[in-house]
């Protein structure tokens, strides 16, 4: 005798989708915090009621995506396995290490690969050079698109995406204190499109200079960038610009690997 399938209640798909979206909102709140958060703070940042947040945290905790310690919550070990799954299945991530190793060995600089995620970029691979920065970027760190290596990704954005990016940034200025207006940023992005690379100094990290280039994409709208960086006091603009051909070769190699 066949089992009778119960009809789905009206509104159930929408309710289920809202629950999934809210669970991801909670995960993203915890992912963006460098310290554990109490329930009230998670709820506030996620825009949810404490009761709903507590229920979602309970589900995520049972699945290993959240850990509760001393009445505060942080991401659990299951999130690390998801990151591993991305790194071993994404073609760009798999190709990154040997390309970045060669680039770092040739230049002596730190080579980093970023991939765009929404209106931000995420570090997915890094190889330190002979002269690394004091500040080490951890894999998985979210970074802005309007500063440093993010600008080559912003330069490839559609106009409506770029409008949303600019509207969402309160201060476009650099960490070095240089004021940047919307007109300034758009003019710089035009220059990046023309040159095909970007040089920066004291933009996102004080005391750092870098040069970056987009990883080619078939549609022309690059979602990844590769960069070289080092201490600004020892690596000036002329030297960094001299490495642009090597940087472009690395970007092209990554682009070919992604197309396979």
For residues 3 and 17, which has the higher predicted lDDT (pLDDT)? Answer: 17
CA distance 33 to 166: 23
Tell me the per-residue pLDDT of 197-212, one tens digit each, with 9 for 90 and over: 999 999 999 999 999 9
Instruction: Inform me whether the pLDDT recorded for 11 exceeds 80.
Output: no
Band the pLDDT of 6: cuts 50, 70, 90: very low
pLDDT given at position 164: 97
Q: What is the CATH number of domain 12-79?
A: 1.10.10.10
Please report the beta strands in the chain, taking only residues with DSSP state E, as ranges in sequence order.
Answer: 66-69, 72-75, 110-117, 120-127, 142-144, 198-201, 208-214, 224-231
Contact between residue 66 and residue 76 where contact means Cβ atoms under 8 Å apart:
yes
Average pLDDT over residues 241-258: 95
Tell me how far the alpha carbon of residue 250 is from its chain's centroid. 20
Give the CATH superfamily of 90-259: GAF domain (3.30.450.40)
Task: Please list the residue range(s) of the chain that carry CATH number 3.30.450.40.
Answer: 90-259
Band the pLDDT of 137: cuts 50, 70, 90: confident
Average pLDDT over residues 235-256: 96
Task: Please list the residue range(s) of the chain that carry CATH number 1.10.10.10.
Answer: 12-79
Average pLDDT over residues 134-159: 91
Tell me the per-residue pLDDT of 63-121, one tens digit each, with 9 for 90 and over: 999 999 999 999 999 999 999 999 999 999 999 999 999 999 999 999 999 999 999 99
Token couple for 28? 């993203």
Band the pLDDT of 220: cuts 50, 70, 90: confident
Contacts of 247 (CB under 8 A, 6+ apart): 103, 197, 211, 212, 213, 226, 227, 228
Band the pLDDT of 242: cuts 50, 70, 90: very high
Helix (H, G, I), strand (E, B) or coil at 207: coil
Residue 239: in which H helix or E strand, if any?
Answer: helix 237-242
Token couple for 187? 């003019």
Supply the pTM of this predicted model. 0.87
């Amino acid at each position: 005798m066949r089992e009778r399938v119960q009809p789905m209640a009206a509104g159930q798909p929408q309710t289920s989708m809202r629950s999934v979206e809210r669970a991801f909102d909670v995960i993203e709140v915890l992912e963006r915090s460098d310290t554990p958060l109490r329930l009230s703070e998670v709820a506030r940042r996620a825009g949810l009621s404490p009761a709903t947040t507590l229920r979602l945290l309970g589900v995520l905790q049972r699945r290993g995506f959240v850990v509760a310690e001393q009445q505060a919550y942080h991401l659990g070990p299951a999130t690390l396995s998801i990151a591993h799954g991305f790194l071993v299945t994404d073609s760009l991530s798999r190709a990154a290490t040997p390309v970045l190793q060669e680039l770092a060995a040739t230049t002596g600089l730190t080579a980093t690969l970023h991939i765009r995620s929404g209106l931000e970029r995420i570090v997915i691979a890094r190889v330190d050079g002979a002269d690394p920065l004091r500040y080490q970027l951890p894999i998985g760190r979210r970074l802005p698109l309007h500063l440093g290596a993010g600008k080559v990704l912003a330069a490839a954005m559609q106009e409506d995406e770029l409008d949303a990016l600019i509207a969402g940034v309160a201060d476009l200025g650099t960490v070095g204190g240089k004021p940047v207006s919307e007109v300034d940023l758009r003019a710089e992005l035009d220059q990046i499109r023309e040159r095909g690379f970007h040089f920066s100094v004291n933009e996102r990290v004080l005391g750092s200079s870098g040069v970056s280039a987009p990883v080619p994409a078939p549609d022309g709208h690059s979602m990844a960038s590769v960069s070289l960086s080092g201490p600004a006091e020892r690596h000036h603009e002329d030297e960094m610009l001299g490495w642009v051909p090597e940087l472009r070769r690395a970007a092209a190699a990554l682009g070919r690997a992604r197309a396979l």
